[in-house]
Structure 1
Amino acid sequence: MDYSKLKLSEEKVFKDPVHRYIHVRDQVIWDLIGTKEFQRLRRIRQLGTTYFTFHGAEHSRFGHSLGVYEIVRRITDDIFKGRPNWNEKDRMLSLCAALLHDLGHGPFSHSFEKVFNLDHEEFTQQIILGDTEVNSVLRKVSRNFPKKVAEVIAKTYENKLVTSLISSQLDADRMDYLLRDAYFTGVSYGHFDIERLLRVIRPHEDQAVFKYSGMHAVEDYIMSRYQMYWQVYFHPVTRSAEVILTKILHRAKELHDAYYEFKYQPVHFYSLFEDELTLQDYLKLDEHIILYYIEVWQEENDEILQDLCTRFINRNFFKYVEFDPAKEFKIHNQLEKLFQEVGIDPNYYLVLDSSSDLPYDFYRPGEEEERLPINLLMGNGELKELSRESDIVDAISGKRRTDHKLYFPFDLIKDETTHAEKKKQIVELLERF
């Protein structure tokens, strides 16, 4: 029997706070969920350090991945089925790519990637193509099926419509994480009418498009995304936690390279520190492992590592000021010099952090990171780019907002038991912002 068409004897359901129920009818999907690589996602938070700011944000990439799968399942089974431009043979490929799209995320995701120059999408592809349980399940569909799934993740698959379902400016990935993150953080910003969006989505030649009658639901989604980025994803307290986390990892790597004798040897990091990371080493890393080391490193002899870990565990984060590096680089240089003079290492305790988001971009061929537009399907069958029809979206199209903040340990600066005069100079400089 064709494994890709094999159904479970009884439908399985996951109770879900966003979609109410996640339905699994296909044996392939059920088997993928049961693999150890997919189960690992239970131990990776969806929002990294955001739980320090919004205490409900403890949800995992496991739940998000199921949610993306469920949205794509509804699209392929309830909306696209039987319509022109949709090939039913791409159904299982779409479902597997949706379920596995975040498989390669590491602990604390983007912070971890930034420090060690990793790419979670590359690891996702390695897991799909490598010697893994996931690969064994996918190969039961066909010998080249893992390759097709990896190509969808890499955005190189020949059918761009399939890719657009999980990677575009309005895709199942974004639909789920906005709603899920809004739910678990307790904010109202990320809510939009997903039911309406799903009713008006249609398959087109190389991407999913939306009926013109649903334009206001698309506008609502764009604005929800904009608000979530600035109110939740780029929250300054969350960013302060990320700053400290990245500095902990940098410090541990620096100490390892300097042959420092750790009380608690970072055995899980050895291959990472020495640029010999294998896929199996990577899959052993999750947030439980990272938090274990941060906990025990509070007892290390190295004062910087000890202090940073204690700050992270006890939520004693750095304070911040708004800071424009283009205009105020001279002040930054002064602060670096003063920090060194008072014995506070600016490499770890004076950190400029920048966040940037582009809520919607129209198609500009040939430009770096060009994005396919969101297209509206008009009544006469013509396609029109969203910002040409929506005044709201036109007002924010192509406008990148960037925010810079300077982070520092105010508790160390205000402690005037040593270097009192120079610390006063630091405070005076910071009070300018």
Structure 2
Amino acid sequence: MVYSAEKLSEEKVFKDPVHRYVHVRDRVIWDLVGTKEFQRLRRIKQLGTTFLTFHGAEHSRFNHSLGVYEIVRRIIDDVFAGRPEWNDDDRLLTLCAALLHDLGHGPFSHSFEKVFDFDHEDFTQNIVLGNTEVNAVLKKVSPDFPQQVAEVVAKTSAKKRVVSLISSQIDADRMDYLQRDAYFTGVSYGQFDMERILRVMRPKEDQVVIKKSGMHAVEDYIMSRYQMYWQVYFHPVSRSAEVILTKILHRAKQLYENNYSFKNDPIHFYSFFTDSVTLEDYLKLDESIIMFYFQIWQEEDDAILSDLCRRFVNRNLFKYAEFDPAKEYKKLAELTRLFEKAGIDPEYYLVVDSSSDLPYDFYRPGEEEERLPIHLLMKNGDLKELSRESEIVDAISGKRRTDHKLYYPGDFLADESTEKEIKKQIRTLLEI
């Protein structure tokens, strides 16, 4: 039997709190799940520092990746199967890309990426194409199959319909993480009628479209996404933890560059500090390793590193104030001066953090990023862009919302044993 068509002797299932069961019949999918690179995702949290705000948010990229695979499997096996517009030869490519789409995420995901200037999608492609167990499994399908999967992940594949199932404004990735993150954070914002959306999905030549009769379910999905971003993903307390985590890594790198003598050598970080990271280095670093260093760095002689690590480990986070950088830049300059005068390093203890989201948009030629719109399939067979038919979506289309916060250590400012007058001036400026 050809490996790509090989089925398991009996179906394997994963019990899942969101989809009830994740079903696996294809040998290649089962083998991919068993690779060490995929198992590593168990040690990467889906929501980074959000567990310090929503205590249930301990779920992993492993959970989410299986969920995305299951949604895609249902779409192509239950909805698209037998439809002339769908090419069943793309089935295995779509399933593998769905399963592996987040394979390159590093510890604490986006926070980690920002510090070391990485892109997890680049590492996903490197894992798929490199000397890895994942690559060996994919090559059993065909010699060029890893390249095909990598191109879908990179959104450069000629199979645009396959790409749209995994990466678009209404894709399996978003449909899983909204429901999964809502479940584990205990909120209701991410709930929407996925069953209805799946039933009205239709394959077209280069994209997946939605029957007009399913428009209201899509409206609900978009509003759920909007609410999740502002109530969960951009929660100011989670962002405070992210600021501290980022500053810990910046401080550790700066100390290394200044030849600081660590009590315990951060050997796992050497290649990251020197911009010489190999794929093997990257795959060895997970959140358990990061937390180990945060634990032991609490005992370092460097006051800033040890303080920041104690804050993160013990959840003594920064306070925050509303801040408008366009109007309050003079206030920030004055606060910086006062922090320095009080002996508080503003580089690590006075931080502006900005979060921005665009809930829905249609393609605008010449703009920075192409956003493939959601198209509705009308009864006469025509396609119409969603915001042209939905007043709800039209009201938020193209409207980017940005939130700025100024983070600072409230406990430092409350301690009046030193620099009492300066700290009073700082509190006045911060309106606390």
Is TM more than 0.5 here?
yes
Q: Secondary structure at the match of 1:300?
A: coil
TM-score (norm 2): 0.99
The equivalent residue for 1:62 is 62
Q: Please report how far the alpha carbon of residue 81 of structure 1 lies from its aligned counterpart in structure 2 after TM superposition.
A: 1.2
Cα distance in structure 2, aligned partners of 1:379 and 1:367: 32
Cα distance in structure 1, aligned partners of 2:91 and 2:102: 19
Deviations 1:313-332 (A, max 9, x none): 11000000000001000000
1:18-97 correspondence runs (5 A): 18-97=18-97
Cα distance in structure 1, aligned partners of 2:354 and 2:292: 28
The equivalent residue for 1:312 is 312
Q: Secondary structure at the match of 2:352?
A: strand
Q: Secondary structure at the match of 2:336?
A: helix
1:364 aligns with 2:364: yes
Letter in 1 for 2:124: T
Q: Please report how far the alpha carbon of residue 367 of structure 1 lies from its aligned counterpart in structure 2 after TM superposition.
A: 1.5
Unaligned runs of 5+ in 1: none
Q: Secondary structure at the match of 1:424?
A: helix
Superposition RMSD in Å: 0.6
Letter in 2 for 1:301: D
1:76-225 correspondence runs (5 A): 76-225=76-225
The equivalent residue for 1:284 is 284
Q: Secondary structure at the match of 1:64?
A: helix
Letter in 2 for 1:337: R
Cα distance in structure 1, aligned partners of 2:319 and 2:85: 53
Letter in 2 for 1:209: V
1:248 aligns with 2:248: yes
The equivalent residue for 2:2 is 2
Cα distance in structure 1, aligned partners of 2:366 and 2:132: 37
Q: Secondary structure at the match of 1:299?
A: coil
1:347 aligns with 2:347: yes
Cα distance in structure 1, aligned partners of 2:419 and 2:298: 26
Cα distance in structure 2, aligned partners of 1:157 and 1:78: 24
Cα distance in structure 2, aligned partners of 1:105 and 1:395: 34
Cα distance in structure 2, aligned partners of 1:288 and 1:189: 30
Cα distance in structure 1, aligned partners of 2:197 and 2:82: 19
Q: Please report how far the alpha carbon of residue 358 of structure 1 lies from its aligned counterpart in structure 2 after TM superposition.
A: 0.3
Q: Secondary structure at the match of 2:298?
A: helix
Q: Is the deviation greater in 363-372 or in 230-239?
A: 363-372
Letter in 2 for 1:256: Y
Cα distance in structure 2, aligned partners of 1:264 and 1:310: 16
Cα distance in structure 2, aligned partners of 1:131 and 1:64: 25
Cα distance in structure 1, aligned partners of 2:135 and 2:404: 42
Cα distance in structure 2, aligned partners of 1:92 and 1:366: 35
Question: How many positions carry a matched residue from both structures?
Answer: 432
Deviations 1:274-332 (A, max 9, x none): 11100000000100000000000000000000000000011000000000001000000
Q: Is the deviation greater in 272-281 or in 414-423?
A: 414-423
Q: Please report how far the alpha carbon of residue 264 of structure 1 lies from its aligned counterpart in structure 2 after TM superposition.
A: 1.4
Letter in 1 for 2:203: P
Unaligned runs of 5+ in 2: none
The equivalent residue for 1:273 is 273
Q: Secondary structure at the match of 1:379?
A: coil
The equivalent residue for 1:261 is 261
Cα distance in structure 2, aligned partners of 1:281 and 1:316: 31
Letter in 2 for 1:266: P
Q: Please report how far the alpha carbon of residue 84 of structure 1 lies from its aligned counterpart in structure 2 after TM superposition.
A: 2.5
Cα distance in structure 2, aligned partners of 1:335 and 1:73: 54
Cα distance in structure 2, aligned partners of 1:340 and 1:426: 11
Cα distance in structure 2, aligned partners of 1:234 and 1:38: 28
Q: Is the deviation greater in 209-218 or in 360-369?
A: 360-369
Letter in 2 for 1:154: A
1:287-302 correspondence runs (5 A): 287-302=287-302
TM-score (norm 1): 0.99
Cα distance in structure 1, aligned partners of 2:52 and 2:125: 31
Letter in 1 for 2:131: D
Cα distance in structure 1, aligned partners of 2:316 and 2:223: 33
Letter in 2 for 1:163: V
Letter in 2 for 1:427: R
Letter in 1 for 2:19: H
Cα distance in structure 1, aligned partners of 2:226 and 2:256: 40
Q: Please report how far the alpha carbon of residue 2 of structure 1 lies from its aligned counterpart in structure 2 after TM superposition.
A: 1.2
Q: Please report how far the alpha carbon of residue 197 of structure 1 lies from its aligned counterpart in structure 2 after TM superposition.
A: 0.4
Q: Secondary structure at the match of 1:406?
A: strand
The equivalent residue for 1:394 is 394
Question: In percent, how many aligned pairs have the same letter?
Answer: 76
Q: Please report how far the alpha carbon of residue 85 of structure 1 lies from its aligned counterpart in structure 2 after TM superposition.
A: 2.1
Cα distance in structure 2, aligned partners of 1:265 and 1:310: 19
Cα distance in structure 2, aligned partners of 1:324 and 1:370: 28
Cα distance in structure 1, aligned partners of 2:132 and 2:85: 34
Q: Please report how far the alpha carbon of residue 366 of structure 1 lies from its aligned counterpart in structure 2 after TM superposition.
A: 2.6
Q: Is the deviation greater in 190-199 or in 361-370?
A: 361-370
Cα distance in structure 1, aligned partners of 2:364 and 2:251: 41
Q: Please report how far the alpha carbon of residue 72 of structure 1 lies from its aligned counterpart in structure 2 after TM superposition.
A: 0.4
Q: Please report how far the alpha carbon of residue 354 of structure 1 lies from its aligned counterpart in structure 2 after TM superposition.
A: 0.1
Deviations 1:72-128 (A, max 9, x none): 000111111121321110000000000000000000000000000000000000000
Q: Please report how far the alpha carbon of residue 337 of structure 1 lies from its aligned counterpart in structure 2 after TM superposition.
A: 0.5
The equivalent residue for 1:423 is 423
1:329 aligns with 2:335: no
Cα distance in structure 1, aligned partners of 2:161 and 2:167: 10
